[in-house]
Amino acid sequence: MAKKYLLAPGPTPVPSNVLLSMAQPMIHHRAPDFLPILESAREGLKWLFQTKNDVLILCSSGTGGMVGAVTNFFSAGDKVLVINGGKFGERWTKICQTYGLKVKEIVIEWGYSVKPSDIESALKAEPDIKGVFIQAVETSTGVYYDVEAIAKVVRRFDNTLLIVDAISALVAHDLKTDEWGIDIMVGGSQKGLMLPAGLSFVSISDKAWKANERSRLPRFYFNLKRERENLIKNQTNFSSPVSLIIGLNEAIKMLQEEGLERVFARHLRLAHATREAVKAMGLSLYSKESPSNSVTAIMMPEGIDGQVVYKTLREKYGVTGAGGQDKAKGKIYRLAHLGYADTFDVIVGIASLEMALRGLGYPVALGKGVAKAEELLMM
């Protein structure tokens, strides 16, 4: 029986102390003994999001936070700009269209990042655009978008909000919500925050709250104004996912002990070692520019099916990464270094990939990628 290794971009491994914290006897979500836990988690999220504003906690996957980011700040017929460079850019488009927004897309070739100048040109050409929707990390391609530069552009347009899906970027990348002027930023629990899926987080600027007053889209469960009113009273609007919030509090304490700068440096170090190891194996990155610190998308050699690699790694070696999606399906294999990840997660990921490729007939020199990763990770 193979030992299991989870190296996917979500869900990611959950530390044992976080799991143990969630195994405590259940407490009532309106009882006094839950209040300090929620209070601590609230303050921790503000620290992590680098914002003075409350970060709302929703009982949903990250997509629920994305839906709330649309329905609470726009009205049917509003024109919005979506940056579509992968499966999750497509998701922004689908959500916006579902609620009657008029979507203009900047379509990017998969594996590339968006140019802030293209966003600026689109906003100048159509100044009635009320929102710009982007990913910080497009998980399907492993590309990071320059959120700081994009925010600098959008800030110059008083009636336009910047909405960032940071679900895969949070913790791995330094995202300065208030300093950069990000109006709405969405996170999720099962990625860098080292928790099971089930929580989404939404930070909201003063500018966005003003837009909330004008919004006319229907909302009930994802009513962020109600969530804000309840969070001020140290409650959630509906039943709190108590165990997950207890785990969230524990996970944030771990990150705080490490310190934000060291957290970001660790992710950069692991990502750099992974990318250089891949190149040492004779492979190339799918991300042609701005590769993310969350997940590395690796081009498979000619004649090697990425889905077969994914299946082989999972079934033969007990290593679960991720295959490609949509137009990248079969072409890539994705290896994450996110959340509860460190040196030997990269070593396992690279070593197992070398073994799987050799077993499938690709003449990789065993140990070459591992040696490069070791060299870099020892520095």
Residues 250 and 283 in one domain: no
CATH number at residue 352: 3.90.1150.10
Local mean pLDDT, 10-residue blocks, the chain (379 residues): 90 98 94 94 98 97 98 98 98 98 98 98 98 98 98 98 98 98 98 98 98 97 97 91 97 98 98 98 97 98 97 97 97 98 98 98 97 95
For residue 111, the model assigns a pLDDT of 98
Q: Which of residues 231, 257, 283 is at a domain's end?
A: 257
Residues 139 and 20 in one domain: yes
29 and 110 both lie in a single domain: yes
Write down which residue in 213, 242, 257 finishes a domain. 257
In this structure, the number of other CB atoms found within 10 A of the CB of residue 312 comes to 19
Question: What are the distances in angstroms from CA 84 to CA 104, 151, 198, 249?
Answer: 10, 17, 25, 34
Please tell me whether residues 269 and 244 are part of one structural domain: no
CA angle 72, 74, 52 (to 5 degrees): 50
Is the separation of the CB atoms in 10 and 168 below 8 Å?
Answer: yes
Rounded CA gap, 245 and 222, in Å? 18
Based on the fold, state whether residues 220 and 352 are members of the same structural domain. no
CATH at residue 102: 3.40.640.10
Q: Would you call the peptide bond into 241 cis, given omega within 30 degrees of 0 as the criterion?
A: no
| Number of domains the chain is built from | 2
Same domain, 60 and 157: yes
With contact defined as beta carbons under 8 Å apart, do 76 and 97 qualify? no
Burial 347-362 (b: 16+ CB within 10 A, else e): bbbbbbbbbbbeebeb
Same-domain status, 232 and 321: no
**Are both 51 and 146 inside the same structural domain?**
yes
Position 270 scores a pLDDT of 98
Exposed (0-12), middle (13-18) or buried (19+): which is 42, by Cβ within 10 Å? buried
**Both 264 and 206 in a single domain?**
no
Overall pTM surpassing 0.95 (yes/no): yes
Domain closes at, from 238, 257, 276: 257
Q: Are residues 264 and 371 in the same domain?
A: yes
What is residue 1's predicted lDDT score, i.e. its pLDDT? 59
Q: Are residues 311 and 232 in the same domain?
A: no
Distances (CA, A) of 166 to 89, 137, 284, 338: 12, 7, 25, 13
Q: Are residues 339 and 244 in the same domain?
A: no
Range of the domain at 120: 16-257
